[in-house]
């Protein structure tokens, strides 16, 4: 008997513990609603801090492992997202550009509808020459599209300039703020006439000269094309607004500083006045 | 040799397109850059007065065709600039960036002066103080670009020589 115990001690202890545990489990399973015994309570209380600490450590380790795992895929994901973001940005820019172009064209269309007497044609600016001595642009319409020398170029804001050189598919436009761009102009309200030319002292500004000393012209007055002179430009197109009126150095005439109505820095689409019934 | 000429022609055309599309949209400050002038000065420093003058004239004509007041106006001015700058090509230590920078400063100022005289003489449009305020910025930007352009062209030339095409 003793020799049997000695030989199978390990197995016997293991089996007993297993039976006790099964018994305990089945007892607990049958009494789920029963309160825990004082012993259980005591053990649980004693173990709780350790369990909490252990759980915290395990949690941290789990988080760390997950982070490491995540980091491995994060770079690839980040790359994907960056590419996606770049594509979306590009798309958004294209949409914004399209929206702006739409707005510009709508404004030009509105101008065309409001001025049925003018035979207008849309043109795009494809090249810009801007420096102190030169203010001109090239448009994508030429003689094949009915453009001629001295065709007036405008936007919904006002007068831009006139065509001075025509090619089959393109044309060069001299802006009104260029040295070669003087035009006959008049004050819209009082019909006082003068010559409008680039101001040699103020880049981007115009000056109206040859005004009589008693001419009725004041700051804020709108200046429009006079429709006279050799250039044969249409009459009544807004060119700019008077900023200041001063006498000439000899005191015999007046001179007006005029701010152009058109913003030449953001010029992209223009209208060509192919013919005008008013003129 | 033909390859080299082709390289400069393509470079000139590229800069011409940039000058008439990109530069004017870069605002008042950066808009003072003149890439055609920069290339002419850098080329003349490398190639000498004769080639510099011919290059300047060609660049001027092309520029006037692309967008310009009068055919020949830029050609005259850039011809003079190309020839004058070319005179320095034999005097300078080729690897130095200082000389191209100084030459860029002086040539930009001369370019302004010549253009003012030409446009004033042709159209009676004499630019005043408002325009001249742009001169310091123009001189500074273009001179730096001349130095950089010269360094690039010099490097390119050395590579061509090393390959036996120079």
CA A165, A166, A171 angle in degrees (round to 5)?
A: 85
Share of chain A above pLDDT 90, in %: 25
Span A154-203, pLDDT tens digits: 998 899 999 988 889 999 999 999 988 789 999 998 989 999 999 988 88
Average of per-residue pLDDT across A230-248: 88
- Tens of pLDDT, residue by residue over B133-165, are 889 999 999 999 999 999 999 888 888 888 775
* β-sheet bridge partners, residue A127: A138
pLDDT digit string (tens) for B44-77?
999 998 899 999 999 988 888 877 667 788 888 9
Q: Is B121 on the interface with A (CB under 8 A)?
A: no
Residue-level pLDDT at A220:
93
Asked if B24 and A136 come within 8 Å (Cβ–Cβ), the reply is: no
Query: Please, which pLDDT band fits residue B166 given cuts at 50, 70 and 90?
Result: very low
Q: Where are the domains of chain A?
A: 35-114, 120-276
pLDDT at A28: 59
CA A154 to chain centre: 25
**Contact between B67 and A201 using a beta-carbon 8 Å cutoff:** no
Q: Determine, for residues A200 and B34 on separate chains, whether the beta-carbon distance falls below 8 Å.
A: no
Interface residue of B13, B16, B24 to substitute, partner A, most A CBs within 10 Å: B24
**H helix or E strand, kind and range, residue A11:** helix A2-30
What rounded mean pLDDT belongs to chain A? Answer: 83
Q: Mutation target for B interface from A100, A126, A134: give the one with most B CBs within 10 A.
A: A134
Q: How far does the CA of residue A178 sit from the closest CA of chain B (Å)? A: 9
Q: Which residues from chain A sit within 8 angstroms of residue B139, using beta carbons? A: none
Kindly list the structural domains of chain B, giving each domain's residue range(s) and its CATH number in brackets, ordered by start.
2-158 (1.10.1760)
B7 touches A: beta carbon within 8 Å: no
**What is the distance between the alpha carbons of residues A242 and A269, in angstroms, rounded to a whole number?**
25
d(CA A279, CA B11): 47
Beta-bridge mates of residue A209:
A195
3-state secondary structure of A203: coil
Distance from CA of A174 to the nearest CA of B (A): 8
Residues of A with CB under 8 A from a CB of B: 126-134, 136-138, 172, 178-180, 198-203, 205, 265
Rounded CA Rg of chain A: 44
Please state which of the ranges A93-97, A124-128, B84-88, B106-110 shows the lowest mean pLDDT.
A93-97
Among the listed residues A274, A264, A276, the one whose alpha carbon sits nearest the alpha carbon of residue A134: A264
For residue A31, the model assigns a pLDDT of: 62
Instruction: Please indicate whether, in this complex, the C-beta atoms of B123 and A172 are within 8 angstroms of each other.
Output: no
**Closest CB to A134 among B25, B69, B124:** B69
Confidence class of residue B84 from pLDDT cuts 50, 70 and 90? very high
A200–B127 CB contact, under 8 Å: yes
What pLDDT does residue A13 have?
Answer: 78
Question: H or E stretch including A119?
Answer: strand A118-131
Any idea how long chain B is?
166
**Is some CB atom of chain A closer than 8 A to the CB atom of B21?**
yes
- pLDDT for A261: 93
B69/A136 Cβ within 8 A: yes
ipTM for the complex shown? 0.77
How many angstroms away from the CA of B79 is the closest CA of chain A? 18
Are the Cβ atoms of B116 and A132 closer than 8 angstroms? Answer: yes
Across the range B79-86, mean pLDDT stands at 92
Q: What is the spatial distance between Cα B108 and Cα B135, in angstroms, rounded to a whole number?
A: 8
Model confidence pLDDT, tens digit, residues B29-46: 888 899 999 999 999 999
Taking CB atoms within 8 Å and a gap of at least 24, the contacts of B131-139 are B131/A132, B131/A200, B131/A201, B131/A203, B134/A132, B134/A203, B134/B28, B134/B32, B135/B109, B137/B29, B137/B32, B138/B32, B138/B33, B138/B34, B138/B108, B138/B112, B139/B105, B139/B108, B139/B109, B139/B112
Q: Do A199 and B24 touch (CB under 8 A)?
A: no
| Superfamily for domain range A120-276 | Rod shape-determining protein MreC, domain 2 (2.40.10.350)
Quick one: pLDDT at residue A26? Answer: 61
Measured between its terminal Cα atoms, the distance across chain A in Å is 134
pLDDT of residue A47: 63
Least reliable range by pLDDT among A59-73, A79-93, A191-205? A59-73
Predicted local distance difference test score (pLDDT) of residue A272: 92
Q: For A17-54, write each residue's pLDDT tens digit.
A: 777 767 666 665 566 556 666 766 666 676 667 767 76
Residue A59 distance to chain B (closest CA, Å): 56
Taking contacts as CB-CB distances below 8 angstroms, the residues of chain A near B112 are 132
Cβ atoms A253, A234 nearer than 8 A: no
Whether residue B114 contacts residue B81, with contact meaning beta carbons closer than 8 Å, is answered with yes
Token reading at A117: 């007497």
Chains A–B, number of C-beta pairs less than 8 Å apart: 70
pLDDT score for A30: 62
In whole angstroms, how large is the CA radius of gyration of chain B? 15
Contact A261, A239 (CB under 8 A): yes
Secondary structure element (H or E) that encloses residue A207, with its range: strand A206-212
């Amino acid at each position: 008997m003793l020799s049997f115990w000695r030989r199978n001690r390990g197995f016997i202890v293991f089996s007993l513990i297993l039976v006790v545990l099964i018994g305990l489990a089945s007892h607990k399973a049958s009494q789920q609603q029963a309160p825990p015994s004082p012993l259980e309570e005591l053990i649980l209380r004693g173990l709780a801090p350790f369990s909490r600490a252990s759980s915290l450590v395990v949690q941290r380790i789990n988080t760390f492992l997950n982070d490491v795992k995540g980091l491995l895929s994060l770079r690839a994901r980040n790359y994907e997202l960056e590419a996606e973001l770049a594509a979306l940005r590009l798309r958004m820019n294209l949409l914004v550009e399209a929206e702006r172009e739409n707005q510009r064209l709508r404004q030009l269309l509105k101008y065309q509808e409001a001025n049925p007497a003018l035979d207008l044609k849309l043109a795009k600016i494809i090249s810009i020459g801007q420096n102190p001595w030169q203010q001109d642009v090239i448009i994508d319409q030429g003689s094949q599209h009915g453009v001629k020398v001295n065709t007036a170029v405008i936007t919904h804001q006002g007068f831009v300039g006139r065509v001075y050189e025509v090619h089959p598919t393109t044309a060069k436009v001299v802006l009104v703020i260029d040295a070669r761009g003087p035009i006959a102009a008049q004050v819209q309200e009082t019909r006082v006439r003068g010559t409008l030319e680039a101001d040699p002292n103020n880049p981007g500004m115009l000056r109206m000269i040859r005004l009589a000393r008693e001419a009725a012209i004041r700051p804020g007055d709108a200046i429009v094309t006079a429709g006279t002179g050799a250039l044969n430009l249409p009459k009544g197109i807004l060119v700019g607004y008077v900023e200041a009126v001063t006498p000439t150095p000899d005191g015999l005439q007046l001179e007006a500083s005029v701010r152009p109505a058109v913003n030449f820095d953001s010029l992209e689409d223009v209208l060509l006045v192919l013919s005008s019934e008013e003129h | 040799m033909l390859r080299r000429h082709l390289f400069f022609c393509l470079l000139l055309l590229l800069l011409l397109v940039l000058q008439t599309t990109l530069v004017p949209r870069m605002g008042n400050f950066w808009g003072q850059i003149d890439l055609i002038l920069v290339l002419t000065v850098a080329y003349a420093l490398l190639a000498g007065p004769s080639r510099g003058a011919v290059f300047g004239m060609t660049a001027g004509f092309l520029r006037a065709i692309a967008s310009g007041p009068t055919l020949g106006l830029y050609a005259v001015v850039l011809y003079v600039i190309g020839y004058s700058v070319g005179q320095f090509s034999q005097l300078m230590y080729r690897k130095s960036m200082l000389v191209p920078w100084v030459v860029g400063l002086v040539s930009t100022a001369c370019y302004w002066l010549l253009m003012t005289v030409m446009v004033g003489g042709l159209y009676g449009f004499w630019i005043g103080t408002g325009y001249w305020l742009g001169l310091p910025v123009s001189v500074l930007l273009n001179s730096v670009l001349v130095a950089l352009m010269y360094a690039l062209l010099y490097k390119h030339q050395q590579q061509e020589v090393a390959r036996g095409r120079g």
